[in-house]
Structures are given as structure tokens and as C-alpha cells.
Amino acid sequence: MSNRRTILLSGGLIAAAGVAAYWNSFSAPFIFDDIPSILDNPSIRQLWPLSGPLNPPREFGYTVSGRPVLNLSLAVNYALSGVQPWSYHVVNLLIHIAAGLLLFGLSRRVLPRVAGGRGFASAPVEPKHPDRVVPPYHLKVFATPAACAIALLWVLHPLQTQAVTYVVQRAESLMGFFYLLTVYAFVRMAGAGGGWKWGAISVFACLLGVGTKEVAVTAPIFVLMADRVFYCDSVLAALRRRPFYYLALGATWVPLAWLVLGTGGDRGGTYRWSGEAFLQYWLTQPEALTRYLGLTVWPHPLIFEYGIVGDPRRAVLIGCSLMIALLLGLTAWLWWRRRPESLGLGAFFLLLAPTTVMPGAQIIVEHRMYLPLAALIGVLVAATTAWVGRRGLALCFAVAIAAGLATADRNRDYQDPFRLWSDNVQKRPTSAKAHNNLAHAYYHRGEFDAAIRHYGQAVRLEPEVAQVHFNLGLALQDAGRPAEAIQSYAEAVRLLPNFAQARALLGVLLAKEGQVIEASAHLQAALALRSNLPEVHLGFGLILLQRERFAEAATAFSRAAELAPALLEARLQLGVTFTRQGRLTDAVTILRQVVAEAPATAEAHANLAIALAESREFEAAVTSYREAIRLRPDYANAYYNLGNALLELRRWREAREAFESALKLQPDFAAAQEMLSRMRAAKLPD
């Protein structure tokens, strides 16, 4: 078979295998950081002018912060499918396959140089006897199949799922693509027949890489390392040989510095700069690096979110530190000897250096291994091929098949957030974020008790995180526990005074409790922070409604509904306001819409019933009251109002039962007691 045909078949195999392994990822929903960076990201709504998507939000919580190329790519997806995830997954897979093909091309060009150098064995390159092939010669003869095995294993490895299936971690895969293109173009430039065009491609790819993710800062260093190992006798010789190329490559650090400084120097709070933060973080990284190495060889268990707590056992820290120190020492020795293996091992440490040194919000993250995995797989496959030849390659391809099956299985977890976070909590119960997101899944299922339980566990694990207290408040509020929700919102505000939404919802609940002064203070503060927050207008509307300033209340509720059409509470309160204004037709119309959109909301049915009763439509009102009671059996006010509607229909026995039910639920319900007394005095029949 011709070499060209082998190359084409290898590329086709890599692409087809990638599609097969990730086919079931296309139906996966957006999760975790996808929400702020895609669903809540206004900068990707318009693809043109480019000044929009090239200026992503800079606040904490946005993966796109300081990464304009990443943000632009998401804007392209938004133009294709809006907020439908399928196109985002398709593009992620295309990027991953393209990166795999680049890795294949790079490996195919580098492996013969490894065979001709001092890597993996010191025996002569050419065999003296055809039946006794020395190790380096295997790499020369089987360079294309070995390169295919490297790329195939890398594309199919289950550790890659987080960087491919988790949409917003396109930051990692797209940066990886540009990084590999930078190195591939350099190798083409440095090889026979290479020219300045390949050098220009390399520099431009590096520039796009730093605009995608900060780890690309290491690309010029890695290229220099590769130049020293394969083409020049020393680093100094490489710099002297290609001064303008390295000057241009190093110049890409300037826009990177500008992007980082544009987010406050800490990517909106992602990095922490205190001495204590550095020390605490560094103590977790030996375990992290050791785990990365272990997952390379045996990718189980895969964990989406590890949390911020490392293994507390000192023996683990010491053991992991010794292992990493030994591997670093081996890498340094191989580098000193100019062995090609040093490039693969050195790339592992170099690529992880930015996230290992800088104290981030996560101690272990699997998507950080996207490119380092290529370096380790390259060393392992090259060593196996060099020493075992065809049998070693066959083993590598067999492992790739198993890896692809494991990847497809892992992708099933991403199709259901509940399954993903349940698995995470089971494997890593110390992760507050895992508990928080499992609670979020329960919350959206309407299982508020389970949501409160896991939000509570997240609060216990990370009591200083305002967002977790806020989320707990949401669940408590929807579970009908407003007093506890107020406490959670208040704690969120204490921890983060500029948390506008927490202040707004705290103001809403305080207004409902009649604490108008306190509510107004929080709402004013929230308004100063974010004038377009719908909950602020909802809160002011509640205060105005209590003061019977109906026209102003209606304006406030209308504004809240305009800002957030999905905020049914705003339209519900608008319907209540119309009822109290006597605009009964408008009230019934809007409350029917709310009931249609939220048929499981007891308050919507009860307020529709009030509007219907005021309109003298008592039969319809009774039906709505009964539905409200079915949804919320402890709804004393609904029983009382039902009794009044039944009185209008002269259904005395049912009315008496309704008032008695109200009193049973609320013994001090004076109005219900009075109605029963009147019925007895009037001696109404059953």
C-alpha cells in the first residue's frame, strides 16, 4: 500500500472513530458554566460587527472572560442554532477531530527523527539482519501507523470527554487545536523545503491560541524545546538560527497580557493572589498531577467536579510529591542528554504549569489534560512501537477501541445533568459544587426537599460562597418556607454585598412579609447595582400594591414582566393588581395565561378564582379554588374563599365544610370562624 494511501486511510479512521465515539454527545444539554457563557452571554447574540463577540463579559463566572476567540466561536454557533445545543456539540467534535489530525501529521513527521536520534534506544538505525529489527528502526518503518495510533488513542481517550462534550470547554480543545497547529507549522518550516509561510502560520496560530485560553502562553517555549531536541544543538543556537521567528512568536505574549489585565489580572476572580491561597493550592497539586498521570493509564473514575478540598492525609501529599519529583528529575536528565522522550515528559509539566502554579478555583480539572495527554500518549506509543514493533502497534489499536467504547459510555452521563451530578456526588462527596448542581437538578424537577438537602450540604462544605446560600434561598422560597429563604438571601448579601439578585429577592420576600422599610432598602441597593433586574421591579410593585397605589404597582409589574417574560410572579401580581383595580376582564385574561403556563401553581389558580368571583362567575371560581386546594392541601385562604363562593351559589353544606377546613388548618382564622357563626345564626339548611 502506498504511503499516501496509508496516510489518507489513517486520517479517515481517526475522523470516523471520533464521530462514532462522540455521536451520542450531540443531544447533551448545556450544563454548569455553559449557562452563563452561552445562555446568559449577550455578547454572542450578534455575529456582526465583530466588536461584539470579540469583547466577552469580564465578570466572574464567565469561561469566555478574556478569551475573545473562544467567544467569537460561540457567536458563530449562536448564529447557526441559537440556544439549541446540537450545533455547539458538532463544532466541538469537528475541532477535536481536526486537532487529532494535526497530532497525526505532527507525529508522522517527528517519529522518524526520534528513530534517527537517541530516543528509546542507542542501537544503530538500520538493522544488520532483516529478521532482527532494532527498536529505533521500528519507529522509522512504522512511523505512519504509530502516528495514527497516537492520534487515535488521543481522540478516543475517555479523559477527553470533558473538553469535548462539555461545550464551554471548547476553550481547551480550540486552544489545543491552535497549539498543535503552531507546532506542526514550525516543524514544516524547520524541515526540508520549509519556508517563511509556515513560520507565519505558526505565529498566527499561536496568536489565536492566546486569544482562546491562557495556557497557549507556553507554546513559544515548547517550540523552542522541540527546536533544541530535533534541529539545533542548544537553545541559544535555535534562537540565533531563527531570531525573527522567535521574536514574532514571543510577541504573542503582549496581547495575552493585555487580555489578562483586561479581566483585572485574575480573570474576574478565577485566580487568587494571596500568599495563603498560593500555599493552600500548591499543597493540592502533587495529588492533582499524580491523578492526571493515573487517569492517563486507567481513566477511572472520571469526575466532572473535584471541588476545592484535596486529600487531607499527609502520607498522600508526601507520596505524590516524591513521585512527581522523581518524574521531574528524570525529565531533566533526559533533557540534558537531549533525548526525545524529554520533550514528551517536559510537555506534560509545561502545559500544566500555568494551572498548577496559579491558584485557581478548582484543584483538579480533567479538561486540563487535553494537550498534556497527547504528550504522554506520544511517549507511550513511541516506546511500545520502538520495542515491540507490530505487536506493540496492535496492542495500541486494541486499547484505542476500548477507549472509544468507554468514551461513548461516559458521554451518556452528559445527556442527563441529574445523572452526571449524582455520579459526581457519589464519587466525590466532598465537592460542594457537585452537591450544588445536583440540588439544581432536583430543583428543576420540582423536588424541593431533595434540593434543599443538597444545597444545605454545599453550604456546609463551602459556607463562604454567596451563590450557594442564594441557591438554597431559591429552593426554600419555592418550597413555601419564606422565613428560612429570607435568612439564606440575607447571608448571601452579607458575604457579597453587591449581589444584586440576592438583594432583589430578599426585598421581594420582605415586601411580602410586610417589612416595607427593610424591603425598600434592599431593592434600592439592587436597583443601583442593576437597573434592569426584573425582581427589583417586582419588589417595588409589591410595596406599591400594599400601599394601594395600584396604577404605579401595575406599571412596576408590567416592567418586570417585560424584562423577564418567564417571570410568572410578575404577571401573577399584575393580575392581582387588576383585580383590586376593578379591571376584572384584564385580570381574568392575564391570570388565565399564568394558569396555562404554570398549571401546578396553586396561587395562580386561587387568584384566578378571586377574579372570577369578583366577576360573578362563581361556578368557574369554585372550580379554580378546588384546583388550588388540590395542589396545596394546606391552603387555608383558598378554603375560606371557596366557602364564600359556595355561599353565593347557595350550596350551604359545602360552604360550611370549606370554612371548617380553613379553621382546621388555621385555628385562629377569625374570618372563617365569623362566617360559620353567621351560618349557624341564620340556621341555613344543609
Q: What is the distance between the alpha carbons of residues 625 and 602, in angstroms, rounded to a whole number? A: 9
More confident residue, 532 or 25: 25
The answer as to whether 310 is a domain residue is: yes
SS3 track for 179-240: HHHHHHHHHHHHCCCCCHHHHHHHHHHHHHHHCCCHHHHHHHHHHHHHHHHHCCCCHHHHHH
Residue 475 lies in a domain: no
**322 pLDDT higher than 90:** yes
For the cut 50, the answer to whether the pLDDT of residue 224 exceeds it is yes
**Domains: count for the chain:** 2
> Is the alpha carbon torsion for 176, 178, 181, 186 positive or negative?
negative
pTM, 2 dp: 0.84
Q: Is the pLDDT of residue 648 over 70?
A: yes
CA neighbor of 213 nearest in space, from 179, 247, 249, 181 = 179
Specify if 514 maps to a domain: no
Domain range holding 58? 4-121+132-411
Distance of alpha carbon 343 from alpha carbon 117, whole angstroms: 13
Mean pLDDT over residues 222-239, rounded?
94
Identify whether 504 is part of a domain: no
| pLDDT(134) > 50 | no
Give the residue-averaged pLDDT of 313-329.
Answer: 94
419 occurs within a structural domain: no
Q: In angstroms, what is the C-alpha Rg of the chain?
A: 32
* Among 225-234, 384-393, 506-515, the least confident range: 384-393
Strand partners, 465: none
Last residue of a domain, one of 390, 411, 432: 411
Which of 386, 411, 436 is the last residue in one of the domains? 411
Residue 487 lies in a domain: no
Confidence band (pLDDT; 50, 70, 90) for 270?
low
242 contact partners, CB below 8 Å, separation of at least 6: 199, 227
Q: For the chain, give percent helix, strand, coil, nearest 5.
A: 75, 0, 25
What Å distances lie between residue 648 and 516, 616, 643, CA to CA?
Answer: 36, 9, 9
- Dihedral over Cα of 26, 32, 36, 40: its sign: positive
Task: State the average pLDDT over residues 670-679.
Answer: 92
Q: What is the CATH number of the domain that holds 676?
A: 1.25.40.10
pLDDT class of 128 with cuts at 50, 70, 90: very low
For residue range 15-69, what is the model confidence (pLDDT) as tens digits?
A: 999 999 999 999 999 999 999 999 989 999 999 999 999 999 987 668 999 999 9
Of 411, 429, 461, which one is at a domain's C-terminal end?
411
Q: Name the more confident of 106 and 128.
A: 106
Count, residues in the chain: 686
Higher local confidence (pLDDT), 66 or 279 = 66
- The model's confidence at residue 137, banded by pLDDT at 50, 70 and 90, is low
Mean pLDDT within 441-457: 95
**Residue 445 forms part of a structural domain:** no
Asked if the structure places residue 658 within a domain, the reply is yes
On the question of pLDDT at 591 being above 80, the answer is yes
Please report which residue ranges of 415-515 form alpha helices under DSSP H: 417-427, 432-445, 448-461, 466-478, 482-495, 500-512
Across the range 183-188, mean pLDDT stands at 97
